Structure 1
């Protein structure tokens, strides 16, 4: 039963992804477009080398074409160079081994360890596996003469050129949407965490609550990594892309300074949640701040959550409903609450003042990071 439930869940998820690819732009549609381009490139390569050129075994051309419709045009070009190199090495080494041994089996025994090891060289990237597979195909089909090897390399070259051309000229991929998606997700996760901490310090929190907040803050690093990866893919998609300036690209790419700002926000959140965790438990290393001081702390965090929430990307905001103005108001209220929190640092209990001073410092740095600047616009 568990197996069938899992199969049903996977089928439903696949069906939803297929529907999303048809209904709206997104990752699913990007995958669909690239898949159709790869299939079309393979068919075109097969037709040119098999039907027009009249080749008897036209395996290498469609193979190269379908493999080289990569996620970016730049990646197609780099992969083409890597693939052609490893295929040439595999074919030549297999041909030489066959000529030397006169036996297909002995040639495989000699060639495969060499080509498999050669394919692990990092310079070849994911294309390294083609060294050994090409050697197997050359030996299995008996295409070991230098004329046959040259024919196969020419097929590979034709397929590579077709794959690159299709990827570059037919809806060349440009990834801008992913950066916005990851920024919005990071903002939503940060705002949710700040609200959770604000609610927790208001009602009173324990070690389990604080550790959960700290784990959530650490997981924000995964969102930061995804954001950096998305920005890298976006920049790479601009390279060697002839259609970049012709395609409708949607909203402009956010400035890279925003990534650094979010990294600072996550850093201060991790420090704050670690400090709060150290004030509770069986043997806390810091004294819990006074309950009256936690009230303005909760207020600071709730207003900071409103300020860090993602801004809607709308062209003309409704009158009196400018999200940037609302964000500035939230920060102003957060600073007012922070002033009340800072006043508690002058308490006489030195242990409470120590822990409260750390909370004040981290929240102050957090608010400074969230302060309006060019990066946040």
Structure 2
């Protein structure tokens, strides 16, 4: 029984499962409503529209509904206009398709540009029955209305938690890579093995793209959602957190490249570093990995649970990493004095560690958050001012330019 509850719990948090169930129920309701209101024997346009409209978030549902309705109405109106002048032939069909696709670009319906042409072609085939054309518009409105009402009455989930889990998973992947890099520092490292670690670092870009997609979905779920008191803060916290981790992934990739270049300069039976330096670097990379995981947890807990505890853990990890970094700097200086040709790679290694520590610094993150919030507030104030000017113009008040 516990296993079943665990599977059901994971299913409720899976966007694919939730979206499948929601779209199925909404489309079925849409068809039932269209059967009562439309004169067509099989009003399948309504459930089709609902399937396209009922998105994972309320914001995407609203935007998709508007674009879908506009595209269908534009195609119908265009086809009715053509049908009153010419009939259906190969050249009139081509002309309608060209005009529809061009109109779709002008009215900015996004991915529904093709829908303008599809609606026009379907209506052009029934030019003598204009009522059938408007039935298509009616079914589209029914599908969009049912989909929108479905999401308003049964609000879609907020996907912040799943986005946070993706961010934490990315941080743990980076930590595992750093630990593997550290384990190979005190033993002979073939160039092929060092290159494989470099490829692992490059493959992290794919995980960043997946996290970015999950984060965009979470950002959309926060828009227009009454259950979130501070959606702007939640979006900024998650987005800046992912930006920081992305920079750190790039730097880790550079670290892997530096170690690969160092392996090329060593004999096959020679370790990358002396035992004391390798032990210090292992400790440093371990603290870096711990700081990255603590940072990932902090990013997600600021929007859900105990942020103070996560902040304390990150501060402790950063302090330990800085102390280890200073110790390693002294050891590397001595090794460079014995092997001057390696000074550039050793210096680059320290600079890359410094960059990660600077990116994870608590004060640096606080400053970044404040800058993003100020930028977002200024943008909202400009939009509010533009809307206020439009309202004054609509009421016939004289135009007053902004100061």
Q: With structure 2 as the length reference, what TM-score do the two structures score?
A: 0.72
Q: Does 1:22 align with 2:8?
A: yes
Q: CA deviation at 1:199?
A: 0.3
Q: Residues 358-369 of structure 1 correspond to what in structure 2 (within 5 A)?
A: 358-369=348-359
Q: Please show how residues 1-377 of structure 1 align to structure 2 within 5 Å.
A: 22-25=8-11, 28=14, 30-52=15-37, 55-103=40-88, 107-115=92-100, 123-140=108-125, 142=126, 144-241=128-225, 243-245=226-228, 254-281=237-264, 290-292=273-275, 293-309=277-293, 311=297, 328-343=315-330, 344-346=332-334, 347-348=336-337, 349-372=339-362
Per-residue deviation, 1:52: 4.9
Greater displacement, 63-72 / 98-107: 98-107
8 Å Cα contact 1:289-1:352 kept in structure 2 = no
Partner Cα distance (2:214, 2:274) in 1: 43
* Partners of 2:29 and 2:353 in 1: CA distance: 60
For 2:79 and 2:363, locate their aligned partners in 1 and report how far apart those are by CA, in whole Å. Answer: 61
Aligned-pair distance for 1:27? 5.1
- Contact between 1:200 and 1:209, CA under 8 Å: does it hold in 2? no
Q: Which moved more, 1:155-164 or 1:89-98?
A: 89-98
What number of residue pairs does the alignment pair up? 347
CA shift, 1:222, in A, is 2.9
1 CA distance for matches of 2:314 and 2:105?
51
Are the aligned partners of 1:121 and 1:128 in contact in 2 as well (CA < 8 Å)? no
TM-aligned CA distance change 1:40 to 1:323, over 3 Å: closer
Q: CA RMSD in A?
A: 3.8
Q: Give the unaligned 5+ runs of structure 1.
A: 1-17, 317-321
Q: 1:86 to 1:371 in 2, by over 3 A?
A: closer
Q: Deviations over 1:123-142 (max 9, x none)?
A: 322222322332343245x2
**Separation in structure 2 between the aligned mates of residue 76 and residue 325 of structure 1, nearest angstrom:** 40
Q: Is the 8 A contact 1:94 1:144 kept in 2?
A: no
- What TM-score, normalized by structure 1, do the two folds share? 0.76
Take 2:317 and 2:34, find their aligned partners in 1: how far apart are those partners?
A: 65
Deviation at 1:197, TM superposition (A): 0.3
- With over 3 angstroms needed to count, the CA separation of the structure-2 counterparts of 1:244 and 1:107, relative to structure 1, is farther
C-alpha deviation, 1:168, in angstroms: 2.3
> How many Å separate the matches in 1 of 2:7 and 2:98?
43
What secondary structure, in the 3-state scheme, does the structure 1 residue paired with 2:196 have? helix
1:166-197: CA deviation from partner (whole Å, max 9, x where unpaired): 12221323211222121111111111001000
What displacement does 1:235 show?
A: 2.1
1:39, 1:166 → 2: CA distance? 11
In structure 2, the CA distance between the partners of 1:98 and 1:323, relative to structure 1 (3 Å rule), is closer
SS of corresponding position for 2:353: helix
Task: Look up the SS of the partner of 2:186 in the other structure.
Answer: helix
